[in-house]
């Protein structure tokens, strides 16, 4: 597993389902460089249990991300046909019908590997045969990417642990506050709070007030 913060987000081109049902073959995050921030998140598997709760939670807040100019994109190692099929299943039946942001199909697992969120790895047995040492699906990885294509925030949860979408929004707000004001965001910062200058005087002044 690798830390990508401060580095360029790995580039890829892969099939994806967009707009809730349209399959495209060459989806890439590169289309957003210079235009949008991107919230790119991985989930383990279609037709499972924690995953739909997360996908719907991101959809419920999609308008708030869009107001901030942020594109939300999901990814798993399932096929685009699997994504499409799950999108046809109503929410009350455990499906993800109503999800409109893109869902990338990483069937080759190369995107998951590049982002360092693969649950398991390939190895060889004593006879030289390649074997998998885990489920070979994605952990719950989340990456906030700025307009230059640089990863600014990274979070990886193990398979049973769902993420907090409000925290993802808070990180977007913190990044955009820093970009717009040049001030850094202290612990527990929320939109509307004051920042502080990255200096000893700045932190002393902030701590004196809090």
Active site residues: 51
Cβ–Cβ < 8 Å for 84, 99: no
Structure tokens at 78: 């399932």
Separation of alpha carbons 117 and 134, rounded Å: 12
Separation of alpha carbons 130 and 149, rounded Å: 34
Separation of alpha carbons 20 and 142, rounded Å: 21
What spatial distance separates the first Cα and last Cα of the chain, rounded to whole Å? 37
Separation of alpha carbons 103 and 160, rounded Å: 20
Separation of alpha carbons 83 and 147, rounded Å: 27
Name the nearest CA neighbour of 31 among 59, 11, 4, 8. Answer: 11
């Amino acid at each position: 597993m690798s830390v990508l913060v401060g580095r360029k987000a790995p580039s890829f081109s892969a099939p994806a389902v967009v707009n809730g049902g349209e399959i495209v073959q060459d989806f890439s995050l590169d289309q957003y460089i210079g235009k949008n921030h991107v919230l790119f998140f991985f989930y383990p598997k279609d037709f499972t249990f924690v995953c739909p709760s997360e996908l719907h939670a991101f959809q419920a807040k999609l308008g708030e991300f869009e107001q901030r100019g942020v594109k939300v994109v999901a990814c798993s190692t399932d096929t685009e046909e699997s994504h499409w099929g799950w999108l046809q299943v109503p929410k009350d039946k455990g499906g993800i019908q109503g999800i409109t942001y893109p869902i990338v199909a990483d069937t080759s697992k190369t995107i998951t590997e590049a982002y360092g969120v693969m649950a398991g790895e390939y190895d060889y047995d004593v006879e030289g045969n390649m074997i998998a040492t885990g489920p070979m699906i994605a952990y719950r990885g989340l990456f906030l990417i700025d307009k230059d294509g640089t990863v600014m925030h990274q979070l990886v949860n193990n398979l049973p642990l769902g993420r907090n979408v409000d925290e993802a929004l808070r990180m977007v707000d913190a990044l955009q506050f820093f970009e717009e004001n040049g001030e850094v965001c202290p612990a527990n910062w929320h939109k509307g709070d004051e920042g502080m200058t990255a200096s000893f005087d700045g932190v002393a002044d902030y701590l004196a007030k809090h």
